[in-house]
Structure 1
């Protein structure tokens, strides 16, 4: 199946929903029009989970999803295999009535998509629409009205042109039927409603080749057609589009798998559900209610690198590299009862061709590596006398400790927990930099410090003032190497950060407390003396 286009979406939807209902788990992936709203939203090793959420919330509000991949996996115990159905949805918000979404694009993100052969024509011309809850309520309100408002501009021009064609046809006596070319998408519903409202002696029908058939009808026939009219329901179903799939995923409660999926989850929540809450804790509560069982393969791969070191297939947590290693002969057959992973006949493009950063393909890879890692961990140390392959639920039991743990890149923590308390930071203690009081040292800025220290590993710099800086290092090795290298440096003094010693705010509060205490003691002493 792979690509799902707007024109065929509603026809395929029942089968897609049934596949989700019957599956063992679903893997997802998204592509989007931008990755970072501004420099202030860039990820930093200083970021707490709350700070990272705040940054991503700003970014998500400005960009949209342009592609969603959904891969559905079902275990066939008889043949010890997983059958896979992969769907690649291009998404594009449709204007209708007063709904007219505005969104931003980031040049680097579009260049990245271009580099990976993203089809922008499909995105715009064939993208499936979607709505969040507020947009759906707004649309329902419009559909209850007799006359549906258009979004103006070209829509209004098209409506007037169609009305003029019908008016001229009627003034010429009106033949048996008039066929009007109609654009695909929501505008077709607006044309139907505008013609029916403007001309009480006609009724409109869908015709072949994207046309609207106009027929003169009696009052009795029109009343009969009005009673069974489902135009509003059809318009709503069409405009909800991918939201139907999103709701199917949330209603079934099936395990959802992704790779480095925090941004994916926030985008889906924002575009298909409702605006992201201000509080990070509220987002965690809500997303856990929507998706009660989540697995992030990037986090799992990073955590299993040492426990599964004997297999030497988890050297990288990059999705494509992880997939290549686990899809190799060694990756597939190093333990007993390794299951086959077989794409359905209509979805086999991803087994024969590589399409990195196509959302459908990435969702397929995420689900694939999830199965392979689950099986390796489940069968590690199992005797060759094990009689039967493990069931899928056994995988979930073995991976229970990874459930709802979502990877976070370049932050104070390496993952967050959606169903409980976030983990403590495993990053090294911050470093504290003091520049020497010399003319040469005064020319050193945070960018130069970052450039110097990057030779030892990944770091982020936070200036405190002209001569003091904080350094967050990615690893303990990096922090120790920096301390060792700058132990006797003439211009840059580096030590571990101590809040009580180095924080000006804490020092002010401390001295204020001391001052208050001294004044209190003095007042007590003077009161007793008098």
Structure 2
């Protein structure tokens, strides 16, 4: 399910309930770029230490932005069944504040997203805002001091000026309780228009409507004061802050419930989570690790898990190969005795056989080789089983292939030989009769 800014607030309570009931959550992200090539010595290297790789990735994370976050919420129904609810959240940096947010775009990343059908219009027009704790504190201070603003373009300022001119012209002839509708106001401009009108005109009240509309109502100063004290006022500063935080509200829910977080190759994902929703990335790699583990105590990276399982299996076989012959022989015998299908051990024994050095431990190598040969069914046993299964088949006749009997070349030679022999016998008989 695709989720943008327009429907995010309505879905947030349901998302909160599902995350609280979840067994674990999985996520993946898309960015405007991965590794910045404009910075000197910023290319990742196989010889990087973890701290060096972090510092290089940190510079890239600070330059690029999030465009989409995929979240899958897994809830356990019974012992062997999970129900998953998946969401694609379009994200766009919050434009409510004193400083405008700048980010870099990588041509290859944009081309990759475009190839797989990414909706750039939804990202730009309906992206869910977000901010970290430092940006939130700055906005809170400016809200208290009434020095906040929306970082808008000249076109946006023209829209705001037009809306304000319409209201000031209308209110001169309007009567108390009369209303008018302002249209085509997107995002934070709905909030900014209402606050500017309320600050400039003491006898108006505003309320947001659906479809990017705002209702303007002429009221008395006494009625205006009652409405300002109402809990339903959408322009209260705490509600403005809540709206500006956007997706950060969902991030804080994830942090609060402490559910296991699952992903693949998660370093960049975790760094963007820290930088965009929590705090700017620290310079210290150790501090970053402490912060992440405080936010998400259980992190499961499937790439790391896969490599660990492969390494564990190989180490187990290597240690088995280094054991004394009698210990290995006893282990293998016990393994076969308690295995439901001994033939399923053939791949493991083959790998062990390849790891063993024939010269350094010939006895163990010979024992494993013999065991492989015993577990693999012989050719003649398999043939007998096939002949037995097809013995009474109504339509198929199966027999063992004999080259001297079933080969087309041999059959042709035998037929020619038979014809020659027949003619020779016939000539002999007829020749003998004439001589008599």
Could you tell me the TM-score, scaled by structure 2's length?
A: 0.68
Equivalence for 2:182: 180
Equivalence for 1:37: 36
Change (3 A) 1:288 1:208: closer
What's the offset of the Cα at 1:296? Answer: 0.3
1:6-17 aligned within 5 A: 6-17=5-16
Q: Is the 8 A contact 1:159 1:194 kept in 2?
A: no
What is the DSSP-based 3-state SS (H/G/I as helix, E as strand, rest coil) of the residue aligned with 1:28?
Answer: strand
Q: Is the 8 A contact 1:201 1:216 kept in 2?
A: yes
Q: Counterparts of 2:43 and 2:146 in 1: how far apart (Å)?
A: 48
What is the DSSP-based 3-state SS (H/G/I as helix, E as strand, rest coil) of the residue aligned with 2:141?
Answer: helix
What's the offset of the Cα at 1:263? Answer: 0.3
Q: Counterparts of 2:249 and 2:274 in 1: how far apart (Å)?
A: 13
What is the DSSP-based 3-state SS (H/G/I as helix, E as strand, rest coil) of the residue aligned with 1:305?
Answer: helix
Q: Counterparts of 2:258 and 2:33 in 1: how far apart (Å)?
A: 29
Q: Counterparts of 1:119 and 1:110 in 2: how far apart (Å)?
A: 11
Deviation digits for residues 365-385 of structure 1, max 9, x if unmatched?
xxxxxxxxxxxxxxxxx999x
Change (3 A) 1:198 1:6: same
Please identify which structure carries the higher helix content: 2
What's the offset of the Cα at 1:163? Answer: 1.4
Q: Counterparts of 1:94 and 1:68 in 2: how far apart (Å)?
A: 16
Equivalence for 1:83: 83
Equivalence for 2:274: 269
Equivalence for 1:223: 225
Change (3 A) 1:41 1:198: same
Between 1 and 2, higher relative CO (CA 8 Å, sep ≥ 6) is seen in 1
Equivalence for 1:164: 165
Change (3 A) 1:82 1:169: same
Q: Is the 8 A contact 1:94 1:186 kept in 2?
A: no
Change (3 A) 1:21 1:65: same
Change (3 A) 1:279 1:91: same
Equivalenced residue count is 311
Equivalence for 1:375: none
Equivalence for 2:213: 211
Change (3 A) 1:251 1:173: closer
What's the offset of the Cα at 1:28? Answer: 0.9
Q: Is the 8 A contact 1:28 1:70 kept in 2?
A: yes
Change (3 A) 1:142 1:159: farther
For structure 2, the 5+ residue unaligned runs are 315-337, 341-436
Q: Counterparts of 2:23 and 2:77 in 1: how far apart (Å)?
A: 10
Equivalence for 1:470: none
Q: Is the 8 A contact 1:148 1:194 kept in 2?
A: no
1:225-264 aligned within 5 A: 225-228=227-230, 229-231=233-235, 232-264=237-269
Q: Counterparts of 2:175 and 2:163 in 1: how far apart (Å)?
A: 15
Q: Counterparts of 2:174 and 2:272 in 1: how far apart (Å)?
A: 54
What is the DSSP-based 3-state SS (H/G/I as helix, E as strand, rest coil) of the residue aligned with 2:191?
Answer: helix
Q: Counterparts of 1:132 and 1:147 in 2: how far apart (Å)?
A: 20
Match for 1:191 among 159, 168, 193?
Answer: 193
What's the offset of the Cα at 1:288? Answer: 0.7
Q: Is the 8 A contact 2:150 2:188 kept in 1?
A: no
1:134-173 aligned within 5 A: 134-146=134-146, 148-151=148-151, 153-154=153-154, 155-173=156-174
Q: Is the 8 A contact 2:190 2:208 kept in 1?
A: no
What's the offset of the Cα at 1:283? Answer: 0.5
Equivalence for 1:27: 26
Deviation digits for residues 265-314 of structure 1, max 9, x if unmatched?
001100001110001111011111111110100111122236679xxxxx
Q: Counterparts of 1:285 and 1:146 in 2: how far apart (Å)?
A: 37
Q: Counterparts of 2:172 and 2:41 in 1: how far apart (Å)?
A: 63
What is the DSSP-based 3-state SS (H/G/I as helix, E as strand, rest coil) of the residue aligned with 1:61?
Answer: helix
Q: Is the 8 A contact 1:147 1:193 kept in 2?
A: no
What is the DSSP-based 3-state SS (H/G/I as helix, E as strand, rest coil) of the residue aligned with 2:145?
Answer: coil
1:36-435 aligned within 5 A: 36-38=35-37, 40-77=41-78, 80-146=80-146, 148-151=148-151, 153-154=153-154, 155-173=156-174, 176-228=178-230, 229-231=233-235, 232-305=237-310
Q: Counterparts of 2:53 and 2:132 in 1: how far apart (Å)?
A: 23
Q: Counterparts of 1:47 and 1:305 in 2: how far apart (Å)?
A: 23
Q: Counterparts of 1:90 and 1:217 in 2: how far apart (Å)?
A: 39
Runs of 4+ in structure 1 over 6 Å off: none
Q: Counterparts of 1:243 and 1:14 in 2: how far apart (Å)?
A: 14
For structure 1, the 5+ residue unaligned runs are 310-381, 385-530
State which structure, 1 or 2, has the greater radius of gyration over its C-alpha atoms: 2
What's the offset of the Cα at 1:237? Answer: 1.6
What's the offset of the Cα at 1:104? Answer: 0.4
